[in-house]
Structure 1
Amino acid sequence: MKRLDIEGIDSIVRSERLRLEPLRPEHAEALFPMFCQPRVYDWISLRAPASADRLAARWRTLALERTEPRAEYGFGWAVRRELDGAWLGKLDADVRADGVAGNVGYLFDPGYWGQGYASEAVSALARHLERHGVHEQWATVTVGNKASMRVLGRAGFIQTRVLKGNDTIRGVAMDDVEFVRRAADAPG
């Protein structure tokens, strides 16, 4: 099994149309408008950040946590379109020291939904994580969120089971579908 490369994970990822930049406090101003759009929260339990400053502070804390050895590291990437520099969304993953990434997640500005950007970004991120020693990746999607399930399927994730009452969205218990991508089974 390949050794986990934390510094390598925290690097720029490129795909055909996208550039994934390690999430830093300076990305907060550009991405904050996306976090203000109610449709972003249709299928997730996150709440909108109070301000771009609060978002920057959260991302600053995550970056600082990666400077010390720990059992799990939180990573994030700001997604930018190469063609015109537009900020499209963000990706994240919690990477454990044993090479398993849990909570692989993504948020995209609704103005860019349905154009293949999320599938392209998640696929690029999955390959990037594997190149740097992550051998297994996990994600969950709220039951009914068919678009997000397609994103994970296109990125080589396989549906494993339904997790009853795994999340609470706007006060309602919701079931999640669990997905996994294992490096040994992943498409090239």
Structure 2
Amino acid sequence: MHPTERSRFNDFLVPTDRLAERFGIGPTEAVPPQVEPRPMWRSDLGSLGEIEIARRLAESGDLNLFRPFPDLETSELAVLHLATRRVLGIQIKTIGVDLAHPVGTVTIHASSFRPSPLTYLAALAWLREEKRFHDECLLIPTEELRGLCRPHESGNHMSFDWHPLSRRFTCVR
């Protein structure tokens, strides 16, 4: 886009490499020196997992993605296949694993859980030391989820443990 000075878009045109500056973050502020690693909260990790699933699905070009608002526990991401017009819902869960903690617990709110042939649970594993996602994820039909979960103390949650390198869930990968 090359607007003239009289274009109504001229004031809003920003080179993409200077986008952070437009939001008031200078080059030195954008990359602060790291003294020690900051902790990662579960909500940060969950958001990262949701973005990763959406990014990977968006790359196919055959799908439209919709994020329900407010965030629904049953389907955080609705996926429309453009050719078949079939819609599926995906609940996305992310665990963090490392050498000291190779197993993560995937937890689901039982009160809002509604199994359906049109909804799936996608679980990703964040490899903390490598700062990347594991090469495989779980994609579990929600109708099969209760059979994989153990009872939870509170009664309001369902959960299962996942060791990303184990073969326990090979039938649903």
Q: TM-score normalised to the size of structure 2?
A: 0.35
* Greater relative CO, 1 or 2 (CA 8 Å, sep 6+): 1
TM-score by length of 1: 0.33
Whichever of the two has the greater Rg, that structure is 2
Return the structure number with greater strand share. Answer: 1
